Amino acid sequence: MINAKLEEEFNEQINKELYSEYLYLAMKVYFMEQNLQGFVNWFDVQVQEEHAHAIGMFNYLNERGGKIDLRAIEKPVVEGKTPLEIFEQVLKHEQYVTSRINHLADVADEVKDRAALSLLDWYIKEQVEEEATVSGVLATLKLIGDDKNALLQLDKDLAARTFVAPVIG
């Protein structure tokens, strides 16, 4: 059976992962409205990844005999009005998620739950990849500036991204 404090933190993180899915859906809407289909695709993949992350924790909590407590998902707010501003928000959000995963690992360490630490190692590595990917797109957007042709080329490049279901754990 999983420690009660750790169970609470996993339930909170499941909610945060589902919020991330919801936030990226809202950002996808912005790019749909701009008719930037490559960006739409990028966010489609991101939505699927965040869902998989939530389900990975959901399944883990269930396997450990924990009580799953699904909570209300906060309404997402897209702060940006340009692709650059939106990706700045994405990076800030991913950094927040990283801090949450690190906190969850700290709690697992505190309660000496080695199985949870093993699982969370995958999530920690995933967050390094998430932040690097977003930072790359953000750097390109900064380089592009107001060049619409370059933006359309980036859009074309982002259309090639595909979802690969993660093997969590």
Say yes or no to pLDDT of 169 above 90.
no
Considering the four listed CATH numbers 1.20.1260.10, 1.10.3720.10, 2.60.40.10, 2.60.40.790, the one that applies to the domain covering 4-69+82-158 is: 1.20.1260.10
List the chain domain ranges.
4-69+82-158
Could you tell me if 13 and 104 are in contact, meaning their C-beta atoms sit under 8 angstroms apart? yes
Rg (CA), the chain: 17
Tens digits of residue pLDDT in 23-58:
999 999 999 999 999 999 999 999 999 999 999 999
Band of pLDDT at residue 136, cut at 50, 70 and 90 = very high
What is the C-alpha to C-alpha distance for residues 156 and 159, in angstroms, rounded to an integer? Answer: 5
In this prediction, residue 16 carries a pLDDT of 98
